[in-house]
Each structure stands twice: as structure tokens, then as C-alpha cells.
Structure 1
Amino acid sequence: MLAKPDQANQPKLLVDGLAKSYGPAVALKPTHLAVEPGEFLTLLGPSGSGKTTLLQMVSGLVAPTQGRLFIDGRDETQTPVHKRDIGLVFQHYALFPHLTVAENIGFPLKMRGLSSADIQKQVAGALEMVQLGHLAGRFPRELSGGQQQRVALARCFVYKPAIILMDEPLGALDKKLREHMQFEIKDLHRKTGATIIYVTHDQEEALALSDRICLMNHARVEQIGPPHEIYARPRTAFAADFIGISNIFRGRVECGADGATHLATASGRLRIDGDNLANDAEMALVVRPEHIELGSAGENEVRGNVAEIVYAGSETRLLVEVAADERVTVRVLPGKPLPKLGENITLSWKPEAAVLVTP
């Protein structure tokens, strides 16, 4: 359990055992989380994993069933939403249709009683930050989706809240614009040093934006860490399967008398590395597509028939059927020879390139 931090070395946000239930339905199990000043933390997970519930409790839109919430060391658990120093950006931009771009951005400053001169100065800075100065006099209906989203971002950043919460802010955009706006948000974060908590179900978005990812599943935190750590060293089969493309071989541990340890799977016996493994324990071996070689190039080998060949631009993906209802995805870079559809091939990898996880 997290304790209230001392004032000299405190996180920006401290979630201390927050939980939420609606009668018998558990929306979020007791959760402990610390977010550092200036950090970009992404809450990632499938629908129903608890990520939006956690965000809503941080914002004050939903009251927790139990637990406490600290912002800058202050207990804000019972503070109403309008009195928390928090900015909100949603998927639907919620711009005022009767106000211009400049007036929309200046609205939160006006509500805080700033002078007209101060509002004008800060709005000009925010417009420059999102590169919309030439559109200051337009109305939301005259803007594209990406421009409207930038206005919503500027309106949130302009009054410098302690924490900025973003709930699927790019969900309504097409793929190309979504990728462009990811860079916009990352640049804004870099320029402002804001503390951001971002909710998404898009794994690529989480990998691209985050300092850390909090992966959630079944109303609890599954794993938390930097993007490269969660991708390269997942702790569970769910984490491996949800983030990136993974090949997961499930089976039982076989501890040999010679000290070698294998995992008995439907695709064969695979050499594994691990300490204190119990014989006959159920485990799963995760191998990323980029670590698998065509042919006998590693200690672990499986054979199968090429079921699909998928061209993906910068790479070609092979789907190889290695056992009944079990396919392996292999990444092949341009210039390398490709097998034919239906061809029986050997796949291999080095034991250290795989990760052993709980199933």
C-alpha cells in the first residue's frame, strides 16, 4: 500500500487504494499508483478493464468506493470536480459552437477572473503553440477535425492545470490524422512539461506517446513500466498478447536431470531459461515475430506450413501453421527470400530471445 508522501519528495498524483463498485459489480479493484511531475502516463487496456473508471475518479467525476487520492501532497479525495486543478480533454471536443477559436481557448481563463489583457496574451501564446493563430477568428464548424482537437488541447493547456487528463482524445480521427496528432500531443508535452494521464485502447498510441504505460485488465493493473519494458519483458500472456504482435506457446515445464529446462507444448519441446521453475507448472513462452528466423538458426525450432503471406509495406508477415489451431507470425524484412504459400518450413529462435510468462 502506498503511503502519503513527504512534502520534499512527493509525486504529482498519488492513487492510494482507490476502488469502485456498483453494487456487486466491481469497476476497479483497489489500485495503487504514483505519477511523477511532468510524466506522461497512459492507461491502456480493453473495454471494461477499469482505465476510464480510474480516470474519472482522478478527475472527480466519479466518487471512489474506497481509497484516497493526493494531488501535490493534498488529499483531494472528496474535492468536487470543479475545484480540482485538473484539465480534461475528451474524444468529443466539447467546443462552444457560438464562440470563436480564440474565445473557446480563453474561456477557462475568463472563468478564473483574469483580465482581458492577460487573457489575450495567454490565448495568443496557446494559439502559437498549436499553430492556429491564423484561425483565431473562426468558429468550430469552420474547422477540420484535427484543428478542432488542437483547439481543445490549447483550451486545456492554456491555464496550466496541475494534471491534464485525456480520455481517448484521438478516437474520432482517421488513422493518418490520428498519427499526426500523436506527434502534436507529444510536442505539447515536451514544450509545457505538463503531467498527463492519457486513456486509450490503442497499443501503438500508448507505445508512441508514453513515458510509462499502466496496462489494465479485469479492473486491475496488470503491469506498469516504460513502453520498451512492457513490450520486451511482459510478465503475463495477456500483457504480451495485448501490446504488439506475439507468438505464445503454452505448455508445462519439464526440468531435466541434466539441468536443462524445457516447455512441453503442442508445437514440441522448447528450451527455456528461468530460475526456480516448478516441474509440471503451467507457463507460456513469448516470442516476438522479429526474433524468429527462417531456417535452423537457433536452439529452438518448430516446423509448419505457410498459411498466409501478408505484405505490410516495410515488412512481410508470414503466418505459419505449426500445430492444430496454432499459428506463428514471422516478420521478414524487404530483400530477404520468401517461402511459397503452403510450403513446409522451419522456424527457429535463440532461448534468450524469448520471455517466459504466466499463462
Structure 2
Amino acid sequence: MLAKPDQASQPKLLVDGLAKNYGNAVALKPTHLAVEPGEFLTLLGPSGSGKTTLLQMISGLVTPNQGRLFIDGRDETQTPVHKRDIGLVFQHYALFPHLTVAENIGFPLKMRGLSRADTARQVADALSMVQLDHLASRFPRELSGGQQQRVALARCFVYKPAIILMDEPLGALDKKLREHMQFEIKDLHRKTGATIIYVTHDQEEALAMSDRICLMNHARVEQIGPPHEIYARPQTAFAADFIGISNIFRGRIERGANGAVHLATRNRRLLIDGKNLSNDVEMALVVRPEHLELGGESENAIKGQVAEIVYAGSETRLLVDAETDERVTVRLLPGKPLPKLGENITLSWKPEAAVLVTP
């Protein structure tokens, strides 16, 4: 269990064993998490993984069955949602249709009793921050989806809450606008230094925006770390499969008399970098598509037939039906020679380019 931190080193948010059950259904197992001041942390995972339940308990919308929650060192476990210094941004913008853009942004300041002059000044600053000065007098129905989301962001940032929670705020936008808004949110984060906890099921969004990713699965934390660490060094087959594209070979560890270590799959023995592994342990070997090479005669060379060729602009992906009974994905950059559909090819990789994970 995480202890309450001292003032010198305390995180902005400390989740200490929070858990939630609905009858016999487990929505979140006991969870421990620390978020540093100014950090952008993403809760990532499939539906039912517990990410939204955790976010709702942080906000105060859901009461935990056990555990404690600290904000700036204060125990806020039982604090009502309206008394927590937390801002919320939702997928559906929740703007007041009868208020102008400026009035929507100024609403939380009005509720906090700020003077008219202070409210006008802070609203002007927020409008400038999201580049909507020229739309201050318009109503939400007169705005595009992206503009409405920027108003929702400004309304949240304007009163400078201790923590900002975002629950899939870009889910209602099309792909191009969603990518643009990712940069808008990152820019706001840099400008304000706000502490943001962001929920999404989109792994590309999480990789692009986060300081750290908290990957969740089956109502618990699967792995937490910087995006590059989770991508390059996943700890489990689920993490490897959910973040990016992975080729996963499952088998058992075999240690040879000569000191070589292999992963024995159903019909192949793959050389691995596993000096400290015990014999006959079930493991999975992860090879990212960019680490596979066409050709090669190494011990890890496998044969297969090209089943699909997918052109993706900046790269071409080959889907190969391999002799190991897996469908393997290969990433080729522009300028690389392409095999033909149905052609028999050989793939290889360096042992140090692969990662061993729990299956």
C-alpha cells in the first residue's frame, strides 16, 4: 500500500488502493497510482478495463468500496464532487446552448463568485489561449465540433483546477480533426502546466499525447510507464498486442547444453536472449513489424507466404502466413523491394530486437 507522502515529495494525486464492486461484478481491483504535478497521464484500455471507473472515483462521481484518494496531500476520499478542485472535459461537450461562447467559458468563474472585471479578463485570456477570440459572442449551435470542444477545454482551464480529467474528449470528432485537437490539447498542457488525466481506448492517441500511459485490463493496471517504454518493452502479451502491432510467438523455454536458450513453439525453436530464464517456463516472444527483415539465414528465419499487401502511405505492410501457424505483419518503408501476393518469402530478426513477455 502507498503511504501518505510527505510535503516535500508529495504527488499531485495519490490513489491508494481504490477499488469498486457492483455486487459481484468487479469494476476496479485495488489500484495504486501516483500522478506528479504537471504530468499528462493517460488511462488506456479496452471497454470494461476499469479506466472510466477509476476516473469517476478520482472526480468524486463514484464512491469507492475501499482505498483512499489524496490531492496535494489532502485526503479527498469522501469529499463531494462539487467541492473537489477538479475540472472535467467530456466527449459530449456539455455546453449551455442558451449561453454565448464567452458566457459558457465564464460560467465556472461566475459560480465561484469572481467579480465581473476579473471574469472578463480571465475569459479573454482563455479565448486567446484556444484562439476563439473572434467567436466570443456566438452560440454553441453556430460552431463546428472542433470549435465546441475548444470552448469546453477553455471552460475547464479558465479556473485553473488542481487536476483536469478528460473522458474520451475527442471521441466524437473525425480522424483528421481528432489529430488536430490532440496537438491543441498538448499545446494547452505545455502553456498551463496543468495536471491532466486523460481516458481513451485509442492507443495511437495515448502514444502521441502522454507523458506516461497507465494501461488497464480486467479491472486492474497492466503496465504503467512512458509511451516509448511500453511500446519497446511491454511486460505482457496483452500490453504488446494492445499497444501498436505485434507478432507474438508462444512457447516454452528450452536451455541447451551449449548455453543457448530457445523458445520452443509448436513447430519451431526460436533463439532468444534469455540467460536468466528457467527451463520449461511458458513465455511469449514479441517481434515488432519494423524489426522483421526480408531474407536472412539466421536461426530465427521463418518461411511464409504473402497473404496481403497493405499500402498505408508512409509504409507498406505485408501480412504473411508463416510456417509457425501465425499470421505475421512486416513493415516496409518506401523504396524497399516488395514481394508479390502469394510469393513464398523468408523473414528473420535479431534476437536482441525481440522482447520476452508473460503470455
TM-score, reference length from structure 1: 0.99
Shift of 1:16: 0.2
Cα RMSD for the two superposed structures = 0.9
3-state secondary structure, aligned to 2:207? helix
Residue 209 of structure 1 corresponds to 209
Residue 294 of structure 1 corresponds to 294
Shift of 1:266: 3.5
Structure 1 residues 325 and 299: CA distance shift in structure 2, 3 A: closer
Query: C-alpha separation between the residues in 2 aligned to 1:100 and 1:324?
Result: 61
Residue 104 of structure 2 corresponds to 104
> What is the one-letter code of the residue matched to 1:54?
L
Structure 1 residues 137 and 167: CA distance shift in structure 2, 3 A: same
Residue 12 of structure 1 corresponds to 12
Residue 341 of structure 1 corresponds to 341
Provide Cα deviations, 1:142-175, integer angstroms capped at 9, x if missing partner: 0000000000000000000000000000000000
Residue 21 of structure 1 corresponds to 21
Asked if 1:332 is matched to 2:332, the reply is: yes
> What is the one-letter code of the residue matched to 1:279?
N
3-state secondary structure, aligned to 1:10? coil
3-state secondary structure, aligned to 1:300? coil
Q: Which runs of 5+ in 1 are unaligned?
A: none
Shift of 1:297: 6.5
Residue 260 of structure 1 corresponds to 260
Provide Cα deviations, 1:23-78, integer angstroms capped at 9, x if missing partner: 11100000000000000000000000000000000000000000000000000000
Query: C-alpha separation between the residues in 2 aligned to 1:277 and 1:138?
Result: 64
Shift of 1:191: 0.3
Query: C-alpha separation between the residues in 2 aligned to 1:315 and 1:267?
Result: 31
Q: Indicate if the aligned counterparts of 1:266 and 1:323 stay in contact, CA closer than 8 A.
A: no
Query: C-alpha separation between the residues in 2 aligned to 1:5 and 1:157?
Result: 27
Q: Which runs of 5+ in 2 are unaligned?
A: none
Residue 317 of structure 1 corresponds to 317
Q: Indicate if the aligned counterparts of 2:261 and 2:275 stay in contact, CA closer than 8 A.
A: no
Paired residues for 1:26-65 under 5 Å: 26-65=26-65
Total equivalences in the alignment: 359
Asked if 1:170 is matched to 2:170, the reply is: yes
Residue 114 of structure 1 corresponds to 114
Q: Indicate if the aligned counterparts of 2:248 and 2:284 stay in contact, CA closer than 8 A.
A: yes
Provide Cα deviations, 1:276-312, integer angstroms capped at 9, x if missing partner: 3121111000000000000006552111000000000
Residue 218 of structure 2 corresponds to 218
Q: Indicate if the aligned counterparts of 1:297 and 1:349 stay in contact, CA closer than 8 A.
A: no
Residue 140 of structure 1 corresponds to 140
Paired residues for 1:195-206 under 5 Å: 195-206=195-206
Q: Indicate if the aligned counterparts of 2:268 and 2:324 stay in contact, CA closer than 8 A.
A: no
Query: C-alpha separation between the residues in 1 aligned to 2:195 and 2:22?
Result: 30
Query: C-alpha separation between the residues in 2 aligned to 1:245 and 1:146?
Result: 29
Query: C-alpha separation between the residues in 1 aligned to 2:26 and 2:14?
Result: 21
Residue 244 of structure 1 corresponds to 244
3-state secondary structure, aligned to 2:208? helix
> What is the one-letter code of the residue matched to 2:186?
K
The range that moved more, 325-334 or 145-154, is 325-334
Shift of 1:275: 3.7
The range that moved more, 121-130 or 319-328, is 319-328
3-state secondary structure, aligned to 1:2? coil
Asked if 1:235 is matched to 2:235, the reply is: yes
Structure 1 residues 160 and 297: CA distance shift in structure 2, 3 A: farther
Query: C-alpha separation between the residues in 1 aligned to 2:353 and 2:325?
Result: 24
Shift of 1:218: 0.2
Q: Indicate if the aligned counterparts of 2:186 and 2:209 stay in contact, CA closer than 8 A.
A: yes
> What is the one-letter code of the residue matched to 1:118?
D
Provide Cα deviations, 1:255-286, integer angstroms capped at 9, x if missing partner: 11110000011452111112431211110000
Paired residues for 1:178-189 under 5 Å: 178-189=178-189
> What is the one-letter code of the residue matched to 2:83?
K
Provide Cα deviations, 1:87-133, integer angstroms capped at 9, x if missing partner: 00000000000000000000000000000000000000000000000
Query: C-alpha separation between the residues in 2 aligned to 1:331 and 1:198?
Result: 30
Provide Cα deviations, 1:201-227, integer angstroms capped at 9, x if missing partner: 000000000000000000000000000
3-state secondary structure, aligned to 1:258? coil
Query: C-alpha separation between the residues in 2 aligned to 1:310 and 1:7?
Result: 54
